[in-house]
Structure 1
Amino acid sequence: MIRLRPGALAAAGAIAVLCTACAGSPTNGTPSAAPAAASSSAAPAVLAASKVGTAVSDAAKQASSVHVSGTVSDAGTVKLDLKLSKDGASGTVDKDGVAVPVLRIKDKYYFRFTDSLIKEAGIPAGSSVVAQLKDKWVPSTSQIGAGIGDAFKEFLDYSTFINGTVGSLGTTTFSGGEKSTVNGASVLKYNSSEGTAYVAADEPHYLLLLQQAGKGTMNFSDWDKPVTVTDPPQSEIYSGPGA
């Protein structure tokens, strides 16, 4: 039976670090569209700084989906691009160049073997095992996928992810409230001791961007928009030893 070293899934597991970092420390870096200060930045904020944490937490918990993307540096570099909903999730997690495509369909989880993950797993190049694994999806119901459900739930289950990131901002103390824009959307900019949060100016007050100097950036978009995820075709699911 094929058994992966614990480090083989570190690329995916590293997302837990990202979640923790976001929960306790809003992130920083250069966003895809840098926030632009509005000319009327001195105008009173619609949302009081004292209510920001509760507002973004409540909005996220009432939504049913979100698109999360960003880069975080913490014992390496983690890049992610995930679409999450209450019924499923899809996307890619990349830890120091090791890419791990992931899926969730209700209670079933998958990861796919890429060239970089096969190399990280220590599988010899040119072996017959590589041919069996390359570009194949491994489900949590398989022997070699046992345990990935518990690990992946941290970042692929919508409620678990939100509670551990945006939801935890409810206890963070913010200040400010200057008007700005992020990717064309009107936002209010709030600061905390750990970083900066950009929040949708209009209700619901969704969190759109988290920044932390020297740590990274996390973008949140497409809140409450439909996310469709389906099981991979049977031909793309791993069927070798340990399946």
Structure 2
Amino acid sequence: MTAIPRRRTRRAALVGAACALAATGTVLTGCGGEDPDEGTNGVGKLPAAQIQARSRSAAESADTVRLAGNVVAGGRTYKLDMRLKADGASGAVTAAGTTFQLLRVGEELFLKADADFWTGAGGKGDDGDTAAGEKLDGKYVKVPQGDPSYKKFSVFTDMGVLLDGLLTLHGTLETDGRHEQAGLRTVRVTGDAGSGGTLDVSLDGKPYPLRLVRAGGAGTLTFSAWGKDFTLAEPEKDETVDYGKQLPTS
């Protein structure tokens, strides 16, 4: 019988030990298991705090994003579907069962809604009827920068403010496995085991945030179309109404 070289026996024993370790939960290549980080951007190997930091950094470096979902603020739920960039945004906001369109180009903010929206906001004509609401129905109304509504609505169009305020987890950060969002692989980071929110970070391409569940049931949001440019332009004059110095208020 041919003797097996001692070095080969020792090497086989080491490989066997490594594969036994893999069976306990540590996945190693070369033992028949798949490396979950193969072909990824590598952030899945990092501690939770570093994953969140890389994700925030990627978001801050992006020129554009599409944000959709629900946000609970001030006891009211807002449904958002906004495309955002540094110098403007366009999209829809739904609150209290009413949907309105927002468009910001530079510093110019426009709001478009139906007559019921304006009538409900107190839009009465001089004759006491709903003439103002009918005038504004389906038109882009230019929001004066000095009007209280400008600050209220422009926050939904400010990419920097929205991302800074939303991409926050509370409490002790931990990772919570690998998941998938819109066909992309993600690693999930939780705050206080989920009670402080959860954030799914892309493992494909840049480590962009893809899904956020806010703490305290304050809404769930998805992020997509990172870095995909889109055109912003002020509406045509025949689509626009300049209401004046102040909009109707509720």
- Structure 1 length as normaliser, TM-score? 0.71
Flag the structure with larger Rg.
Answer: 2
Amino acid at match of 2:212: L
Per the alignment, residue 20 of structure 1 pairs with none
Alpha-carbon distance between aligned partners in 2 of 1:199 and 1:116, rounded to the nearest angstrom: 40
- Structure 2, unpaired ranges of 5+: 1-32, 38-43
Deviation at 1:176, TM superposition (A): 1.5
Once the two structures are superposed, the pairs formed by residues 66-105 of structure 1 within 5 Å of their partners are 66-74=65-73, 75-105=75-105
Q: For residues 44-69 of structure 1, what are the alpha-carbon distances to aligned partners after superposition, in whole Å with 9 as ceiling and x for unaligned? A: 73332120221111011100110000
**1:108 aligns to 2:108 (yes or no):** yes
Structure 1 position 98, deviation (Å) = 1.9
Residue 211, structure 1, aligned to residue 220, structure 2: no
**Aligned AA (1:115):** A
Contact persistence 1:93–1:101 (CA under 8 A): yes
Determine the C-alpha separation between the residues in 2 that align with 1:158 and 1:52. 21
| Residue number among 115, 127, 130 corresponding to 2:130 in the alignment | 127
Q: CA deviation at 1:93?
A: 1.0
On the 8 A contact 2:80/2:92 being kept in 1, the answer is yes
Question: Hey, what does 1:47 align to over in structure 2?
Answer: 46
2:158 match: 157
Cα distance in 1 for residues equivalent to 2:153 and 2:219? 22
Change over 3 Å in CA distance of 1:176–1:191 after alignment to 2: same
Distance, in Å, in 2 between the alignment partners of 1:66 and 1:41 is 32
Q: Indicate conservation of the 8 Å contact 2:144/2:244, yes or no.
A: no
Moved more, 126-135 or 80-89: 126-135
CA distance in 2, matches of 1:136, 1:90: 15
Measured against aligned partners, the alpha-carbon deviations of 1:194-217 in whole angstroms (never above 9, x if no partner) come to 121111013421000011464431
Offset, 1:119: 3.5
1:11-65 CA-partner distances (Å, limit 9, x unpaired):
xxxxxxxxxxxxxxxxxxxxxxxxxxxxx99957333212022111101110011
Write out per-residue CA displacement over residues 66-89 of structure 1, whole angstroms, 9 at most, x where no aligned residue.
000002345232111000011220
> Quick one: which amino acid aligns to residue 123 of structure 1?
G
Q: Give the whole-Å Cα distance in 1 for the aligned partners of 2:213 and 2:156.
A: 19
Q: Report the counterpart of residue 198 of structure 1 in structure 2.
A: 200
Q: Secondary structure, in 3 states, of the residue corresponding to 1:223?
A: coil
- The farther-off stretch of 120-129 and 207-216 is 120-129
Gaps of 5+ in 1: 1-39
Name the CA distance, whole Å, in 1 between partners of 2:217 and 2:160: 28
Contact 2:70 2:80 in 1 (8 A): yes
Structure-2 change in CA distance of 1:72 and 1:163 (3 Å): closer
Q: Name the count of aligned residue pairs.
A: 200
1:182 to 2:181 alignment: yes
2:141 to 119, 127, 138: 138
Tell me the distance in 2 between the aligned counterparts of 1:129 and 1:158. 32
SS of residue paired to 2:201: strand
CA offset at residue 130 of structure 1? 2.4
Deviation of 1:154 after TM superposition, in Å, equals 2.3
Residue 106 of structure 1, CA deviation? 0.9
- 3-state DSSP of counterpart to 1:210: strand
CA distance in 2, matches of 1:241, 1:58: 41
Report the equivalent of 2:21: none
Is contact 2:119-2:132 (8 Å) kept?
Answer: no
Question: In structure 2, what residue type is equivalent to 1:91?
Answer: G
- Provide the aligned C-alpha RMSD in A: 2.8
